[in-house]
Amino acid sequence: MSEGTTKQFLYVNRKAPHGTVYALESLEVVLIGAAFEQDVRLAFLDDGVFQLMKGQDTTGIGTKNFAPTYKALGDYDVNKIYVEKESLDERGLTEDDLMPLTYEDEDDDWAEKSSIKIVSRAEMADLIDSSDVMFNF
């Protein structure tokens, strides 16, 4: 593939936040990567779905609370966020437990739309299969 073309990027987020640094680092790469104008998709599966939980408050553990940053992803044109349903189910969670992540659709008179799409494990497999580069976190 030549350098001028656009690649399908997939950020694969499988780790819980706070216990390890990977969730924070993934956000960092996504934000920096937004400048590279690739086709960016974010996948949250396994314990990665916990990254999007509402109401995270890291005051007690003394680390930076990066959860609000997810809400800024829409402003960076990162609005294809796939969350695996089986992973939510296993953890007793539903989409209502996750932070609402939205973007303004320029093709639809800047209507505010949800960036989150709940997908099945089979769709997650398709997503991985159709990506050019996977960044694993």
Partner 1 sequence: MKFAIQINEGPYTHEASDSAYMFTKAVIEGGHEVTRVFFYHDGVNNGTRLTTPPQDDRHVVNRWAELAKENDLDLVLCVAAAQRRGIADADESKRNGKDADNIQEGFRISGLGQLIEAGIQADRLVVFGD
Partner 2 sequence: MAILHTVNKSPFDKNSLERAIGCAKDGSAVLLIEDGVYGALKGASSSSMVEDAMKTVKVYALSEDVSARGVNERVMDGIELVDYAGFVKLAADHSQVQSWL
- Cα–Cα dist 121/132, whole Å: 19
Using CA atoms of 67, 58, 91, 45 in order, give the dihedral in degrees to the nearest 10: 40
Candidate segments 24-32, 101-109, 111-119, 121-129, binder of partner 2 by CB under 8 A: 121-129
Instruction: Choose between 18 and 100: whose C-beta lies nearer to partner 1.
Output: 18
Which residues form the interface with partner 1 (CB under 8 A)? 1, 3, 7, 9, 18-22, 25, 28-29, 32-33, 35-36, 38, 61-64, 133-136
39-44 and 81-84 strand pairing: parallel
Q: Is 50 in the site for partner 2 (CB under 8 A)?
A: yes
Q: How far apart are CB 63 and partner 2 at their closest, in Å? A: 7
